[in-house]
C-alpha cells in the first residue's frame, strides 16, 4: 500500500463522499452535521448553538473526517431482532472491532446469562427490574460505576449522584486511561486541572509545541490553527518518536490553497525514544537557563520553586540528558534557541506524554519549560492538553471522579440535603483489580468499552467475568459485548447526543460549555441516557429519597443542580433561556494569578527515568490508526502510515536487520504480560530505531497493568517486547 506524503487532502474529501453514501446521501449527512449539537468526535469541539461545523472562534466550515465517521456510524440501520438468534456469542467473539461496529445500531435491551450461547432481546421493564433487583441486593461498596467521554454533562452528573446516594465513591471516567496525568500534573502547577488558554489564543501564538500526539489523525481541526500559525510566520516544533506524515505536511480540505498545494507544518521534528520526553524537556530547560533566556522576574514574582529547579538543572549532565532522551545536544540547543526567540508559545500534548509511568512528571516538565519564560498566565500563550473524547472533560468537571473537590462535595450535600459516603472510591485500574479479586460484584458502564480500553486484555476479560452483573449503556456493539461477560450481562441501547429528546451540554478542552439541542430519534427503541439513569435510581433508591428522580429526568433540572454545585458552572443554570454558551470561569489564566492557595504557579523537580529496554528488546507504543476512534475501528487500513491490516508491528529497518527479520514475515510478539502470535512485520523508517508501533485495542493483550503512581494512568506507550519468528512463516501458511 502506498504511503501518503501528506495528511488530509483529496483522500479526506473522497472519504467524505463514501461516508455520505453510507449515511444515506450527502444531504442527510450534511443536515446531521449542521444540526445544533456538539460534535461527537474529539474534545476540540465544534457545533452547539452556532450550528455544526462551527468552532468556538465562530469559524465555518470546520470539516473533519472524524465527525463524519462518528455521524455515519450513528446513522446506520438498526441491528435486526433475528440477528441475536442467528449469531451466538462465540460468533461475535470471532468478529473484528470494525465488523462489530458495522453490525448497526443497538435498539433493544439485551440479556446474556452464564451458560447461554446467545444474547436474548428483553423488554425495558425486564431490563430495569433485573438491574434494580441486583443493585438493591448488593452492598454499595461492591459496585463500580464507569463513564466514557461521549455522554452529556447531565447524564454524567445524574450517574454519580445516583452512585453516591446508593453508597459508593467508586465512580470514575475514562480519563484515568487518558488525560488524568494532565489533570493531576496541571493541578499541581496552576491549581486547576485543565487548559490555561482558549482557542483564540492559539490564533495569536507565534510558536506551538506539539508533543506526543498525532493531531493530523486525531484532532484534525487543530491542523487549521497550525496552518494559520505557519502562514503568519509562526513556528511548530513536533516532538514524537514517529514522523507522522500529517505533521510534516497537511492538506486541509477546508482551505483551497492548502488542499491544492499542501501546508508545511513542522519547522523542527524531534524524535526522542519512547519515554525520553522527560529527559528531553529537562534538557531544553537546562539550555534555556544556560543561555539566560529565562524570565527571572516572572519566576520570582509568580512562581514557587525556581531555586530548587535551577539547582537541579545546573547539576544534571548532558550525558545523562542525551542518553535518557535519545536526542543529541545540537538538537536540544536548536529547540531552546527557537523557543528563546518566540514570544507567544503554546505547549500542546497528547497521549505520548500521558501514557507513561511518569506521565505526571512529563506534564510538569512541560509546565516548567513554559513557566521559565513566563508563557503561562497571559493571553496568547499557555498549556494545552489536547483531550480525547468530545465530553471527557465535562464528565470529570461535573463529578464523575472517585474524589470530589471539597467545594463540590459540600455543595452537593447542602443543595440536596443529603449525606454522602466518605469511604474513598477506587480508580479505574483499582476497580478492575477489585473485580478480579472478587471484591466487586456489579459494574455499570455509561458508554465506552472498558474491556477494549483496558491494559492486559486477558486479565480484563477475567476480571469482568467474575462480576454478578455488568450493565453496558451503548449505541453500538463493541468487543466488550463479545468478550467481557459477567454472570448476567445487560446491554441498554442508548440514543446518541443528536437524538436526545431534551437539550444536553458538553465541555470542550478549552473549558467551553456547549448546548446541544438533541433531535428526533433515528430508530424506535433506544432511550435517553438521562431517562435510563433516573428511572433506575428511582427504582433502587426510591421516591422516599430526598431527590425526586422523575423530576431529575428533566435535563433543565439537572443543569440547575450543576449550576448550584459545580464552581464555574453558574451560567449553565439559565442556558435554556439565554442559549449563551460560555467558558467555565476560573480556569483560563490570562493573568498571572493562579488557582493555588497563594496564587503562584509551582515548578517541580524530577529524577530522570532511565530509558526502558535492553539488548534484544524493543519499546512498543500502542496507538491509533487513521481509521479508528478508540476501540471502534472504521477501516482496517492506516492510510497515513501506509499500512494494510491491523495485525502488524511497525519496525525500523535497522531493527529488522538487527533481528534478521524481513518485510511481511510473521512474528510472535511477547511482553511480560502476554503474547500475540502471527503478527506481520512492516518496515517503517519513520519510527526512531529501537522503538516499535502496534495498534490499540488489539495490542492490549501485551500491555502490563503498571500505572503512573500519581495519576493511575497505564503506560500504554511504553511496553517492552521481544520478537520471535513464528511458525506461520512455513510455506504452507504463507500460501493462505
Ligand X SMILES: Nc1nc2c(c(=O)[nH]1)N[C@H]1C(S)=C(S)[C@@H](COP(=O)(O)OP(=O)(O)OC[C@H]3O[C@@H](n4cnc5c(=O)[nH]c(N)nc54)[C@H](O)[C@@H]3O)O[C@H]1N2
- Site of interaction with Mo ion (CB under 5 A): 178, 388
Q: How many CA atoms lie within 13 A of 255 on its CB side?
A: 20
DSSP SS3 for 257:
helix
303 membership: H or E segment, kind and range: strand 303-304
Residue 252 binding result from ligand X, Mo ion, none, given CB thresholds of 5 to 8 Å by partner type? none
Choose one: 324-332, 427-435, 584-592, 699-707; the region binding ligand X (CB under 6 A).
Answer: 699-707
631 touches ligand X (CB under 6 A): yes
Q: How far apart are CA 496 and CA 480, in angstroms?
A: 19
**Of the candidates 321, 348, 383, 450, which one interacts with ligand X according to CB under 6 A?**
450
Q: How far is the CB of 240 from Mo ion (least distance, A)?
A: 17
* Region near ligand X per CB under 6 A, out of 25-33, 45-53, 125-133, 490-498: 490-498
Residue 559 CB, nearest approach to Mo ion (Å)? 25
| Minimum CB–partner distance for residue 597 and ligand X (Å) | 31
| First-to-last C-alpha distance (Å) of the chain | 19
Choosing from 325, 449, 528, 612, the residue that interacts with ligand X (CB under 6 A) is 449
In whole angstroms, how close is the CB of 308 to ligand X at the nearest point? 26
The span from the CA of 32 to the CA of 273, in Å, is: 42
Calculate the CA 241 to chain-centre distance.
20
Residue nearest to Mo ion (CB): 388
Q: Minimum distance from CB of 336 to ligand X (Å)?
A: 17
For ligand X, give the closer residue by CB, 494 or 726. 494
* Helical (H) or strand (E) element with 165: helix 153-166
Give the x-and-dash track for 236-275 against ligand X (CB under 6 A). ---xxxx-x-----------------------------xx
| CB of 178 or CB of 530, closer to Mo ion | 178
Pick out residues in 157-186 that bind ligand X (CB under 6 A): 174, 177-178
48-67: contacts with ligand X (CB under 6 A) = 66
Applying CB under 6 A, what is the total number of residues that bind ligand X? Answer: 62
Question: Is-contact 278 328, C-beta < 8 A?
Answer: no
Select from 108-116, 147-155, 327-335, 543-551 the region that touches ligand X (CB under 6 A): 147-155
Nearest-angstrom CA–CA distance, 33 and 97: 25
User: Does residue 717 touch ligand X according to CB under 6 A?
Assistant: yes
CA dihedral 252, 257, 262, 267 (to 10 degrees): -100
Q: Is 478 in the site for ligand X (CB under 6 A)?
A: yes
Closest CA to 663 of 675, 676, 652, 674: 652
Q: Does 283 participate in binding ligand X (rule CB under 6 A)?
A: no
Cα 274 to Cα 588: distance, rounded to the nearest angstrom: 31
Looking at residues 7 to 36 of the shown chain, list those that interact with ligand X (rule: CB under 6 A): none
Cβ(81)–Cβ(457) below 8 Å: no
Residue ranges of alpha helices (H) inside 24-152 are 26-34, 65-74, 82-86, 89-93, 97-101, 124-137
Distance between CA 599 and CA 89 in Å, rounded? 56
Task: Check residue 698 for interaction with ligand X (CB under 6 A).
Answer: no
Of the two residues 306 and 451, which places its CB atom closer to ligand X in the complex?
451
Binding flag, residue 666, ligand X (CB under 6 A): no
How far is Cα 456 from Cα 701, in angstroms, rounded to an integer?
5
- CA 182/CA 592 separation, integer angstroms: 20
Q: What are residue 667's phi and psi, to 5 degrees? A: -130, 165
Among 183, 190, 194, 217, contact with ligand X (rule: CB under 6 A): 217
Phi, psi for 391 (deg, rounded to 5): -130, 25
- List of residues contacting ligand X (CB under 6 A): 41-42, 66, 148-151, 174, 177-178, 211-214, 217-219, 239-242, 244, 274-275, 277, 350-352, 355, 388-389, 446-450, 452-453, 473-476, 478, 494, 496-497, 529, 621-624, 628-632, 696, 699-700, 703, 716-717
Amino acid at each position: 500500500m502506498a504511503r501518503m506524503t501528506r495528511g488530509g487532502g483529496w483522500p479526506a474529501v473522497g472519504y467524505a463522499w463514501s461516508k455520505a453514501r453510507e449515511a444515506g446521501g450527502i444531504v442527510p449527512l450534511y443536515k446531521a452535521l449542521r444540526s445544533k449539537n456538539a460534535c461527537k468526535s474529539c474534545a476540540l469541539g465544534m457545533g452547539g448553538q452556532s450550528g455544526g461545523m462551527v468552532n468556538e472562534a465562530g469559524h465555518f466550515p470546520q470539516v473533519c473526517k472524524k465527525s463524519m465517521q462518528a455521524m455515519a456510524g450513528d446513522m446506520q440501520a438498526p441491528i435486526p431482532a433475528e440477528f441475536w438468534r442467528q449469531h451466538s456469542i462465540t460468533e461475535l467473539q470471532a468478529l473484528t472491532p470494525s465488523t462489530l461496529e458495522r453490525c448497526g445500531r443497538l435498539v433493544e435491551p439485551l440479556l446474556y446469562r452464564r451458560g447461554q450461547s446467545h444474547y436474548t432481546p428483553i423488554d425495558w421493564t425486564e431490563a430495569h427490574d433485573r438491574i434494580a433487583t441486583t443493585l438493591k441486593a448488593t452492598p454499595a461498596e461492591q459496585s463500580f460505576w464507569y463513564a466514557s467521554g461521549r455522554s452529556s454533562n447531565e447524564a454524567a452528573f445524574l450517574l454519580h449522584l445516583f452512585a453516591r446516594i446508593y453508597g459508593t465513591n467508586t465512580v470514575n471516567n475514562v480519563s484515568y486511561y487518558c488525560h488524568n496525568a494532565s489533570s493531576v500534573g496541571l493541578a499541581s502547577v496552576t491549581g486547576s486541572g485543565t487548559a490555561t488558554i482558549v482557542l483564540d489564543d492559539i490564533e495569536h501564538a507565534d510558536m506551538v509545541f506539539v508533543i506526543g500526539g498525532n493531531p493530523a489523525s486525531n484532532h484534525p481541526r487543530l491542523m487549521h490553527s497550525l496552518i494559520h500559525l505557519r502562514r503568519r510566520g509562526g513556528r511548530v516544533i513536533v516532538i514524537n518518536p514517529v514522523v507522522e506524515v500529517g505533521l510534516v505536511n497537511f492538506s486541509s480540505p477546508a482551505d483551497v490553497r492548502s488542499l491544492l498545494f499542501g501546508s508545511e507544518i513542522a519547522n523542527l521534528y524531534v524524535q526522542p525514544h519512547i519515554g525520553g520526553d522527560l529527559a528531553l524537556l529537562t534538557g531544553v530547560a537546562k539550555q534555556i537557563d544556560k543561555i539566560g533566556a529565562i524570565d527571572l522576574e516572572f519566576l520570582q514574582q509568580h512562581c514557587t520553586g525556581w531555586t530548587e529547579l535551577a539547582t537541579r538543572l545546573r547539576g544534571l549532565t548532558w550525558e545523562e540528558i542525551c542518553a535518557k532522551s535519545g536526542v543529541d545536544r545540537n538538537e536540544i540547543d536548536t529547540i531552546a534557541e527557537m523557543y528563546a526567540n518566540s514570544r507567544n508559545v503554546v505547549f500542546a500534548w497528547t497521549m505520548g506524554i500521558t501514557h507513561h509511568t511518569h506521565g505526571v512528571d512529563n506534564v510538569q516538565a512541560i509546565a516548567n519549560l513554559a513557566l521559565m519564560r513566563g508563557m503561562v498566565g497571559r493571553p496568547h500563550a499557555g498549556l494545552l492538553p489536547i483531550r480525547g473524547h468530545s465530553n471527557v472533560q465535562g464528565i470529570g468537571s461535573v463529578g464523575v471522579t472517585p474524589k470530589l473537590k471539597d467545594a463540590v462535595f459540600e455543595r452537593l450535600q447542602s443543595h440536596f440535603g443529603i449525606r454522602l459516603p466518605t469511604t474513598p472510591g477506587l480508580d479505574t485500574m483499582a476497580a478492575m483489580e477489585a473485580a478480579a479479586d472478587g471484591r466487586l460484584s456489579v459494574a455499570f458502564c455509561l458508554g465506552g468499552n472498558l474491556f477494549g480500553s483496558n491494559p492486559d486484555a486477558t486479565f480484563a476479560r477475567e476480571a469482568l467475568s467474575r462480576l454478578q452483573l455488568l450493565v453496558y449503556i451503548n449505541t453500538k456493539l463493541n468487543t466488550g459485548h463479545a468478550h467481557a461477560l459477567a454472570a448476567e450481562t445487560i446491554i441498554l441501547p442508548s440514543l446518541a447526543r443528536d437524538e436526545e429528546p431534551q437539550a444536553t451540554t458538553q465541555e470542550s478542552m478549552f473549558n467551553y460549555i456547549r448546548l446541544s439541542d438533541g433531535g428526533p430519534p433515528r430508530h424506535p427503541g433506544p432511550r435517553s441516557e438521562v431517562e435510563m439513569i433516573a428511572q433506575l435510581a428511582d427504582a433502587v433508591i426510591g421516591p422516599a429519597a430526598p431527590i425526586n428522580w422523575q423530576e431529575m429526568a428533566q435535563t433543565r433540572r439537572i443543569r440547575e443542580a450543576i449550576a448550584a454545585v459545580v464552581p464555574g458552572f453558574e451560567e449553565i443554570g439559565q442556558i435554556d433561556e439565554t442559549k449563551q454558551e460560555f467558558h467555565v470561569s476560573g480556569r483560563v489564566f490570562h493573568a498571572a494569578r493562579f488557582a493555588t492557595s497563594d496564587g503562584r504557579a509551582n515548578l517541580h523537580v524530577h529524577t530522570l527515568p532511565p530509558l526502558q529496554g535492553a539488548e534484544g528488546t524493543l519499546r512498543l507504543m500502542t496507538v491509533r490508526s487513521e481509521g479508528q476512534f478508540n476501540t471502534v475501528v472504521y477501516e482496517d487500513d492506516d492510510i497515513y502510515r501506509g499500512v494494510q491490516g491491523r495485525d502488524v508491528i511497525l519496525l525500523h529497518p535497522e531493527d529488522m536487520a538487527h533481528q534478521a527479520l524481513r518485510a511481511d514475515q510473521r512474528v510472535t510478539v511477547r511482553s511480560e504480560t502476554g503474547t500475540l502470535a502471527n503478527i506481520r512485520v512492516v518496515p517503517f523508517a519513520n519510527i526512531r530505531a529501537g522503538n516499535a508501533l502496534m495498534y490499540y485495542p488489539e495490542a492490549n493483550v501485551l500491555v502490563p497493568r503498571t500505572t503512573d503512581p500519581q495519576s493511575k494512568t497505564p503506560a500504554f506507550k511504553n511496553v517492552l517486547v521481544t520478537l520471535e519468528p513464528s511458525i506461520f512463516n512455513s510455506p504452507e501458511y504463507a500460501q493462505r
